[in-house]
Amino acid sequence: MNTTSRFVPPTRIGFVGLGIMGVPLVQRFLKKGLSVTVWNLEPERFALVQDAGAVWVDSPAEVCTASEVVFVCVLGDDALASVCLGEHGFVQAKGASLLVDFSTSSPAATLRVAAQLQEATGLVWLDAPMSGGPQAAREGKLTLLVGGDSKVYEQAKPLLSLVSSNLTRMGGLGSGQKTKILNQLLVGVNYVLMAELLTTAKAAGIDPHQLPECLKGGMADSTILQRIFPQMASGDFNPPKSYARQLNKDLKSVKVFVENLKLELPVVATAIQQYRNYTEAGNEMEDGASVSRLYEE
């Protein structure tokens, strides 16, 4: 990989993973004039980006061949390994020189898969898990938490800036995923806290719909109070803006991460268990914020 050139539009890019976040990311890249070649495990998802100009191919390997930079946004370690190292994965192709992983994966899987892929193909890796949700992706306002070589990061910044208004390199490869674990710790605990806040407000006879405006600008204010709490108070869960299974998976990663650091964090542990109780009671595909239903009884 050339360490002096920069990836700037109209770079040919590939994208694997057309989920809740993948679709608006592809739409954003297309809106900015890039050609985007895509693949997804469920082919019917292609219809969501076809009219915007995306091009379909039949495997991750073909995405890699057609692209200079490939982006990945899949669900977890197993999917990441399959896309990169599987029978029809990137490892079977030549083409792209840079891979940017938007997925939330474990730091260990990132290091392992990246090393195997680079050894086999020379493909250089940045881990860039994201925060902000689908609307932020459509508007180019995601927060990206990036890990990888500093020179490679500088090369990729023109492309990353198309979808992010706040991108930070946190260190070497895997640092982005470690930072995302910290992010999900905050998010997961706060989802459960908002659910308990809603329950308490109702029990106390306080109108929960007034709380976000009432507390705005104070020490208790937060994006989650302003965005997720009103969603919980209104029961606005359909269609899902995120899936409970995703946050539950991330919180399992938080649990392992904390245990490996030999920390005892009782507040975090309780929130993780509460979210798990809700999700694994048949609510995997419900909106992530619908955990407030856990307290309705």
Stated length of the chain:
297
Note if 262 is an active site residue: no
Is the distance from CB of 1 to CB of 97 less than 8 angstroms?
yes
Torsion sign over Cα 278, 281, 284, 287:
negative
What are the residues whose beta carbons fall under 8 Å from the beta carbon of 133, sequence distance 6 or more?
21, 241, 242
Torsion sign over Cα 134, 139, 140, 142:
negative
Single-letter amino acid code for the residue at 68: E
CB atoms within 10 A of CB 205: 6
Task: List the alpha helices (DSSP H) in 47-170.
Answer: 47-50, 60-65, 76-85, 107-121, 134-139, 150-160
Q: Which helix (H) or strand (E) holds 263?
A: none
The separation between CA 6 and the C-alpha centre of its own chain, rounded to angstroms, equals 24
Helix, strand or coil, per DSSP, at residue 280: coil
Active-site annotation holder among 180, 202, 216, 252? 180
Which residues are the active-site residues? 180
